[in-house]
Amino acid sequence: LEHRNSTALICKRQDLPRMANTTRAPSADPAPDQPSEGYRTLLGLISHEYFHTWNVKRLRPVEFAQHDYGQENYTQLLWFFEGFTSYYDDLLLRRAHLIDDAAYLKLLTKTINQVLQTPGRAVQSVAQASMDAWVKYYRQDENTPNATVSYYTKGSLVALCLDLTLRQEGKTSLDAVMRALWLRCQGGPMTEGDLLAVLQALGGRSFALEIAQWVHGTTDLPLRPLLAAQGVKVLEEPAQLAQRLGLRVTETAGVQIKIVLRGGAAEQAGLAAGDEWLGLEVGPAKSISAWRINKLDDLLLYAANASKVCALVARDKRLLKLPLALPKSITTWRLAARDSQLIGQWLNGS
């Protein structure tokens, strides 16, 4: 809840640090001197909202120079104002030594996987996502991940790519760009043209192509080569079952399908949002075994070695049998340090 000069943030009581750490589960702490995951999330949120004191409250889209609280206000720049703020929120925790390099890379891994697991990134540019915030981001449905991309997460990765590109070309950094942008716009309204002008002035060349491709286009960002050049290894690990199938489910009372991702095995099988996945049939036609499932991982128990199963789902009071291929080659990213010196130069802002 944001106010004129303050922000109210909510967290769970158990996420707050305690003098004695004896009641917390051992797995909750990534390292003895690191905050718990819940407290780290709260610190990141505090960092994010505090950064908005400069980036949104003062430096803001030119469309917001004069607010009209009686109607929706539109801009294509939320990828900058929310995305760049999202880049700096966790980065500032690292620079303040509240988290270490490994914890930061884990947070960055999560952001990258969120974007890579969103089919809508190939449909909608992050600039268009900014413009559509009122009609799509704030009105999400079961097809949202297939049709849209988050200007928070992808915007933060655009900031990452710009920062690493500037550093690796040896001219400047995103920190310097943000300071110069503040001076150019006098801490007030700004446009995309202002950002391009500052990038060219400090970077020594035009960044119009990068902004066109990364912000106004839908091609994937060059994360892998930029991270590798900064001393970060990109490891690929087997995805969780829901990600392999292209599903998002709830399991509070059986397996309820909430989202079917475009291009995944679940979509190809004909599964749909709203289906209740009751069970599966496994085996050749002459010796089929039928099993009830209560959670998605039951598939691994009953069909661990199978390449195909028949999904039994309830839809509109009917029982459907849908042939489902079980892909095994779907992976997710995990970032790890390769060159601590290069990583330190980036994360320390040097």
Tell me, what's the pLDDT at 2?
Answer: 67
**So what CATH class is 241-325?**
mainly beta
Tokens of residue 28, six digits: 């909750």
The 10s digit of each residue's pLDDT in 19-45 is 655 444 444 455 656 788 899 999 999
Q: How far apart are CA 104 and CA 347, in angstroms?
A: 9
Q: How far apart are CA 249 and CA 258, in angstroms?
A: 5
* Partners of residue 314 on adjacent β-strands: 276, 319
**So what CATH class is 1-14+32-66+73-239+337-350?**
mainly alpha
Average pLDDT over residues 182-189: 96
Using only C-alpha atoms, what is the Rg of the chain?
A: 23
Q: How far apart are CA 319 and CA 314, in angstroms?
A: 5
**Coil, strand, or helix at residue 172?**
coil
pLDDT at 107 > cutoff 70: yes
Q: How confident is the model at residue 235 (pLDDT cuts 50, 70, 90)?
A: very high
Mean pLDDT of the chain: 92
Element (H, E) at 291: strand 289-292
The 10s digit of each residue's pLDDT in 161-179 is 999 999 999 989 999 999 9
Nearest to 153 by CA among 212, 108, 193: 108
Tell me, what's the pLDDT at 19?
Answer: 66
* CATH 2.30.42.10 in the chain, residue ranges: 241-325
Nearest to 140 by CA among 18, 241, 235, 273: 273
* CATH 1.10.390.10 in the chain, residue ranges: 1-14+32-66+73-239+337-350
pTM above 0.85, yes or no: yes
Is the distance from CB of 43 to CB of 63 less than 8 angstroms? no
**What single-letter amino acid sits at 128?**
Q
Tell me, what's the pLDDT at 104?
Answer: 97
Is the distance from CB of 130 to CB of 78 less than 8 angstroms? yes
Q: Tally Cβ neighbours within 10 Å of residue 44.
A: 19
* Partners of residue 313 on adjacent β-strands: 277, 320
